[in-house]
């Protein structure tokens, strides 16, 4: 019994998993891919649980709030420090981002910092040079990219609560999924006319929503380096793409972002819709976040200067 409990706890502990991971192996680790496949297969549970307007609404809400946590916090805050916030707000969004099941904040931000240093070269974990599927999801299913690159995220690794989220990220996903199940059971009991249940909210609010969320986020590593327009002549192959910007709340302006990564906004011009930035702006009026870093004009209009030089 004790043994079963220990192995159950170990399943959620990344430090324990690290003991059996081959950190020099860049190929897809079939042992690690099983939970990823399970996540996708579980979506077919919809055949058993059906749907209801409330389940679809919860799935959309769960997608939007966790996507915001990923783009605004995992990316713009933890990876690039493009604005400031308090320790409680930092923790709340780190928790919600971890519930997106894309590993913890330290792992995510450290790998992303490495991406900016080596974008689209052989040293880049998800370089498009390695093929579409590897750049999309093969890279994070390999042993070589399992560990958190702590040397790249020392500034945030000093917070024990973030280290905990990073170490037990699967437990956070389990807490999130269980909360949705409890919500569904509660609604079925209190408001049965809604036609929902615990299993229905778990399938829609966690599994379907999470699979959509993961692939939308991963498309910035893969598609946003292949498909779209290049305004700035960056050293990598990054692109601006409206469709990707819509599904990721602003991350699709990826060529802008590789050109100048220090800004809280990625849509540099008014017509480049960047929903995460608009929400951050509103949060800044409440005092929950502050010091949103702008894009300097010399960076924003750099493409015009280059064109001007070429025309002369």
Report helix, strand or coil for 290: strand
CB of 34 to Zn ion, least distance (A): 28
User: What's the start-to-end Cα distance of the chain, in Å?
Assistant: 79
**Cα–Cα distance between 275 and 247 in angstroms, integer?**
10
The DSSP symbol for 103 reads -
Instruction: Give 276's contacts (C-beta < 8 A, 6+ positions apart).
Output: 68, 71, 72, 76, 249, 250, 251, 266
Q: How many residues bind Zn ion (CB under 5 A)?
A: 1
CA distance 119 to 188: 49
Q: Please say which residue, 16 or 300, places its beta carbon nearer to Zn ion.
A: 300
Residues 253-282 contacting Zn ion, CB under 5 A: 261
Nearest approach, Cβ of 188 to Zn ion (angstroms)?
Answer: 42
Can you read off the two tokens belonging to residue 77? 């805050």
Contact map string, positions 215 to 254, toward Zn ion, x by CB under 5 A:
----------------------------------------
Contact (Cβ atoms closer than 8 angstroms) between residue 97 and residue 69: yes
Report the nearest approach of Zn ion to the CB of residue 295 (Å). Answer: 14
Residue nearer to Zn ion on the CB measure, 65 or 261: 261
Q: Closer CB to Zn ion, residue 92 or residue 261?
A: 261
Residue 19 is classified by DSSP as T
Question: CB 116 → Zn ion: shortest distance, Å?
Answer: 6
Which C-beta is closer to Zn ion: that of 261 or that of 292? 261
- What's the min distance (Å) between Cβ of 298 and Zn ion? 20
- Residues binding Zn ion (CB under 5 A): 261
């Amino acid at each position: 019994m004790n043994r079963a409990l220990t192995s159950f706890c170990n399943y959620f502990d990344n430090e324990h998993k690290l003991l059996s991971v081959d950190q020099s192996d860049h190929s897809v680790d079939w042992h690690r891919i099983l939970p990823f496949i399970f996540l996708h297969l579980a979506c077919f549970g919809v055949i058993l649980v059906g749907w209801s307007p409330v389940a679809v609404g919860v799935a959309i809400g769960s997608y939007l709030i966790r996507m915001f946590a990923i783009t605004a916090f995992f990316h713009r805050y933890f990876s690039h420090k493009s604005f400031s916030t308090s320790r409680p707000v930092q923790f709340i969004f780190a928790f919600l981002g971890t519930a997106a099941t894309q590993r913890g904040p330290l792992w995510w931000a450290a790998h992303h910092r490495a991406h900016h240093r080596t974008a689209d070269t052989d040293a880049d974990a998800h370089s498009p040079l390695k093929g579409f599927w590897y750049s999309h999801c093969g890279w994070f299913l390999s042993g070589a990219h399992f560990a958190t690159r702590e040397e790249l995220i020392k500034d945030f690794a000093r917070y024990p609560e973030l280290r905990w989220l990073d170490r037990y990220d699967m437990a956070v996903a389990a807490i999130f999924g269980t909360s949705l199940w409890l919500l569904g059971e509660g609604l079925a009991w209190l408001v049965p006319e809604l036609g929902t249940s615990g299993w229905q909210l778990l399938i829609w609010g966690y599994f379907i929503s999470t699979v959509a969320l993961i692939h939308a986020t991963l498309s910035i590593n893969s598609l946003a380096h292949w498909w779209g327009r290049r305004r700035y002549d960056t050293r990598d192959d990054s692109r601006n793409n409206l469709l990707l910007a819509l599904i990721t709340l602003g991350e699709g302006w990826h060529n802008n972002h590789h050109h100048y990564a220090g800004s809280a906004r990625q849509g540099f011009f008014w017509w480049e819709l960047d929903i995460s930035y608009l929400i951050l702006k509103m949060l800044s009026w409440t005092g929950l976040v502050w010091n949103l870093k702008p894009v300097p004009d010399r960076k924003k209009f750099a493409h015009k200067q280059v064109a001007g030089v070429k025309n002369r």
